[in-house]
Amino acid sequence: MSTLTKSPAWQALERHRDRLATTTLRQLFADENDRFERFSLRAGPLLLDCSKNWMTAETLDLLVSLARQQQLPSWIERLFSGYHVNHTEGRAALHMALRNRSERPMSVDGKDVMPAVRDVLGRMRRFSAGVREGRLRGATGKAFRTVVNIGIGGSDLGPCMVCEALRAYAADAPDVRFVSNVDDSHLMEALRGASPEETLFIVSSKTFTTQETMANAESARQWLTGALGNDAVGLHFAAVSTNVPGTTAFGISPDRVFEFWDWVGGRYSLWSAIGLPVAMAVGMDRFEELLAGAHAMDEHFRTTSLHANAPVMLGLLDVWYADFHGCGTRAVLPYSQYLHRLPAYLQQLDMESNGKQIDREGNRVDHPTGAIVWGEPGTNGQHAFFQLLHQGTQIVPCDFIVAAVGAHESGRHHEMLLANCLAQTQALAFGKSGDEAQDEMLAAGMPAERASFLSPYRSFPGNRPSTTILLERLDPYALGALIALYEHRVFVQSVLWNINAFDQWGVELGKQLAGNLLPRISGRDADEGLDGSTAGLLHAIRKIRSSRGPASR
């Protein structure tokens, strides 16, 4: 056993779990009339109802004791102070500075980074306004009607998700599109119907060497120059990168290159110039409202006691379910079509951050870390995988996310959405016993024998935990707070597990192997040294490609 799992706080939680083993949510609600008041909390524009979770006041106290044992308050202070919390790469993780709305300095290695942050925000405002208002134009003098962001990972998932989430605020804006996959069909579909004369590309890559991004950027440049010539590149491309020599060699003017910094991790970079597509879509005022919502959550996380702290509460519950109850997955269920990309965004945020098996001291962990995050918008998911959530053999803790007020005037639709969301949390928590199901069928006139036969199939075990996150409305401010809530939740998990949430070495090996295999696809390099499976697949691929020739368009 590791030091963590042998620790007093961990052992106390295991004993407590065993004592609660037969206690159900039905019983907890029957015994505690004030359960909602005791286990819900407010954080800025968000209300979190945690009452439908397997917890009592003692559970929360014991989880907070684990957090204190793992020095969570100290780690929160380190995070905000610019300490190198990313110890394997020797970097801070000060993405909170990007959305700092206060006058408070924020420093990395003794230097206040806020002047540089504000300078980039000012440049983003001028550039996005120039494009949106038609003052910045293409090589033939036409305004830009299409903006294509080329990036991958954090340079795609965050801005893409936010642009989709705030689509209701994107009137009179260019059509902002996203390309990430190195599969050329992604780029071709993004360019479908676009005019080279009216298209602006944003290439987002910190190093300007990311393989997939640069392959797509090169193809985009060929598409543009094939219609407008090489001189058009400077007017039709911008970049978010630290590699100015690389962007200059590509043909991008230095005044269209937007900086960000090595203390900003990719999956936390939405708040930086990586968010330029968001500013293009909804305007810089709305982008700064997004920053303000995130800043409000930062302040809540930094200053609120552990018992009343929203990111802390969620992170504690994540550890409770993953490590003490064997729940290997968590479903994120936004009841908003605008948030349809949120689960994918949170997959990277959570799984790339905490999918680790080595702790901060270099020891292999002996407990689960990093739950598998998945989900789809309600109500679509109800007609797909909710069957497993309600009656399956695996327990999946769920996050339900819904806004009290809809984005449009169709109140009836939003009322249906709200009713479905609340009904699902109710059904998961309390279920329906076999006797209740049978009585219901008998009251509807079903023969007793048939009702008895069907009652096991039509009963629901309940006692399935969920958290409901209620937004006042889905606006930029609330969205910023929601995203920051999840960011800090992931950090809380990492502190309790004693792992580094800010590196991602697990993505590197596949990249290295792909680079080795690329020349072998065409047969330029021999297959010596490969395993039998990979060599066999390469042989089959070359045979098919040689017999069919290039794909036609």
Provide the annotated active-site residues.
352, 383, 511
> Which residue, chain included where needed, has tokens 């540089």?
116
Sheet holding 257-258, edge to edge: 175-179, 146-150, 199-204, 237-240, 257-258
- Asked if 365 and 6 touch (Cβ cutoff 8 Å), the reply is no
The answer to whether residues 471 and 404 touch, using CB atoms and an 8 Å cutoff, is: yes
Task: Provide long-range contacts, Cβ within 8 A and 24+ apart, for 387-395.
Answer: 389/331, 389/428, 389/464, 390/427, 390/428, 390/431, 390/460, 390/464, 391/460, 391/461, 394/328, 394/329, 395/321, 395/325, 395/327, 395/464, 395/465
Q: What is the 3-state secondary structure (H, E, C) of 144-209?
A: CCEEEEECCHHHCHHHHHHHHHCHHHCCCCCEEEEECCCCHHHHHHHCCCCCHHHEEEEEECCCCC
Number of Cβ atoms within 10 Å of the Cβ of 340: 16
Within 10 Å of residue 477's Cβ, how many Cβ atoms?
Answer: 22
Residue bearing tokens 């989430």: 165
H or E element that contains 380: none
Q: How far is CA 1 from CA 7, 219, 358, 498, in A?
A: 10, 52, 14, 15
Q: Is 42 helix (H, G, I), strand (E, B) or coil?
A: strand
What count of other Cβ atoms lies within 10 Å of the Cβ of residue 234? 16
Q: List all residues 6 or more positions away from 226 whose beta carbon is below 8 Å from its beta carbon.
A: 196
CA pair distance 318, 264, nearest whole angstrom: 25
Three-state SS at 265: coil
Rounded Cα distance between 366 and 274, Å, is 37
The neighbouring-strand residues paired with 237 are: 201
The Cα 87–Cα 71 span in angstroms is: 17
**C-alpha of 307 from chain center:** 25
